[in-house]
Amino acid sequence: MSSVPDRSEIDEQYIWDLESIYATDDDWEQAYDAVADRIADLERYEGAVTDDAETLLSVLELYESVMREVETVSAYARMRRDEDTTDQHYQALTARAQSLAADAESAASFIEPELQELTREAFDELVEAEPDLETYDHYVDDVLRMKPHTRSAAVEELLADLSEVTGATGDVYNMLSNADMEFPTVEDPDGEAVEITQSNFTNLLKRSDREFRQQVYEAYFEEWGSMRNTVATAYKNSVKADVKLAQARNYDTAREAALDGPNVPVDVYDTLVETVRDNHDKLHRHAELKREALDVDDLQMWDLYMPLTGDEGPALEYDQAAEYVVDALEPLGEEYQSRVAEGLESRWVDVYENEGKRSGAYSSGTYDTQPFILMNYQDDVASMYTLAHELGHSMHSQFTKDRQPYVYSSYEIFVAEVASTVNEALLTNHLLETVDDPEFRKAVLNEFLERVRSTLYRQTLFAEFEHEAHKLEEEGKPLTADRLDDLYEGLKADYYEPAAIDDHIAREWMRIPHFYRAFYVYQYATGISAALAITDRIFEEGDTAAEDYLEFLRQGSREYPLELLRTAGVDMSTSEPIDRALETYGTRLDELESLLE
């Protein structure tokens, strides 16, 4: 039987080094207690934040110091939990860390409302009296920008206190999908029992036996169907919380509130959707090519993940994949490339799936730790691309920490997805230039096309879905399971017109965890568009463009997202980068079609 291993069976070199944060859980407890005691220190500044320059600097530095410790405590607990989501000890530590973070935000909730009592001129005068305040210039500009949407100190404290509650539906969904749901075991064509998991589902849909793919697809979505009302209730209440919080902050819509945080105009969202809809013909062509390659009368939803090459593609062990990724990053310079290689040797990555491990992949870590990457590596080309993707996030954090103080060390998702996708594009180019094996080349082209399909088209479909779902709630229309199914099925039919749409695919919205972070997914689509434009520029202009890109990475959140991307030579206020990405997608379709002939 093909089964998922226990964590104890995995070699240490493929397990992330969380002991570099806290050697033991007892050390975590000590850090937790220490920072919990310091949270009260913030409250003594309430009512005095802007009394004078020295006080303002003190409160900002104290807040940063506390939050740095809270973030590290939280990251450790969360990553330990994700190693085995059924482990109740680490579930408890994560819950305590979440409460700690909420307490810290609540204790500091008076800071921004008091800052907003300043004028820009008054802050400039404080900077003259205390030059170290100059560091906070952009931060204060952002705080003042949000004044119309910031409530009184008492209301801000209440909203901070309620953050655990308003975010609870996402926690419920994660526990349901990662810990409690049990997907069936199916028999493959060789008679071997295969356990379906959240991590291997799409990989199983790449198997060459069509009957097996259908069996996996239907069994997987039948399990989701058994949870249909529970998930619909969770999502309904998540959307309701988004809408209520937006109203509490004087926004007309939840989408406006979500995009105003990073200062991204809603026109950017609408331009993405309109541009992608204008280019559905390319996606339809991709689907038709897939139908022809598979030699089937109708392309079914269980065929959608099958490669255009018609097979599962070459097996690729992790160590070889890591070598390909490091080599591909040469255009970004020796420093970038060597730091990635060093990180891979220093156990940044938790490589393989194990029993109970959180599905998917992410990059984590804090200002005071090394990066950490969670993966569920499946020995295939897609997993290699995921490794390149997450390393892009990690290196973005590293380059930002090199240059920026803590206040600018994070960055908006809008720009984060650029760094990850630049790595993917560089990997594609490197492999097509250096690998001669025609089957491997086909697999690389197919992976690139699938990445664009699933990132630019699919995430835009998701963006349409959550926009429409929130609009329904704002119009007072109930979000029932049937209504959500109908909404999703209609969008799927538009995007995949040449394919057969069935009742199971109408439930696909249920398996998307990102919907519990409202208006998040569109940034994957804008991110890949910007990344492909940046990569084209690097290939065309060489070191100058590469240095502009690295400068973008070093800026963190020192500027607003659209301005940061202009540093790298991309203007996301227009459709040009999206059009360019879709043009590249079409060109790569031509290349693979020629190889297949």
Spatial separation of the C-alpha atoms in residues 287 and 410, rounded to whole Å: 38
Q: What is the dihedral of CA 198, 201, 203, 207, to 10 degrees?
A: 160
Q: Which of 156, 390, 464, 466 is catalytic?
A: 390
Q: Is 390 considered catalytic here?
A: yes
Spatial separation of the C-alpha atoms in residues 374 and 177, rounded to whole Å: 17
CA angle 33, 38, 44 (to 5 degrees): 150
Looking at residue 309, its amino acid is: T
Q: Say if residues 356 and 385 touch (Cβ distance below 8 Å).
A: no
DSSP string computed for 490-503: HHHHHHTTTBPP-T
Residue 483, phi then psi, degrees to nearest 5 = -65, -40
- Helix H, strand E, coil C: the string for 535-546 is HHHHHHHCHHHH
If one counts every other C-beta atom within 10 angstroms of the C-beta of residue 305, the result is 20
With tokens 């079409």, the residue in question is: 586
State how far the alpha carbon of 263 is from the alpha carbons of 31, 451, 472, in Å.
35, 27, 24
Hey, CA dihedral for 90, 91, 96, 101, is it positive or negative? positive
State how far the alpha carbon of 331 is from the alpha carbons of 219, 303, 399, 429, in Å.
45, 36, 16, 11
Spatial separation of the C-alpha atoms in residues 108 and 59, rounded to whole Å: 9
With H, G, I as helix, E, B as strand and everything else as coil, classify residue 300.
Answer: coil
Q: Say if residues 537 and 569 touch (Cβ distance below 8 Å).
A: yes
Spatial separation of the C-alpha atoms in residues 248 and 254, rounded to whole Å: 10
| Residues noted as catalytic | 390
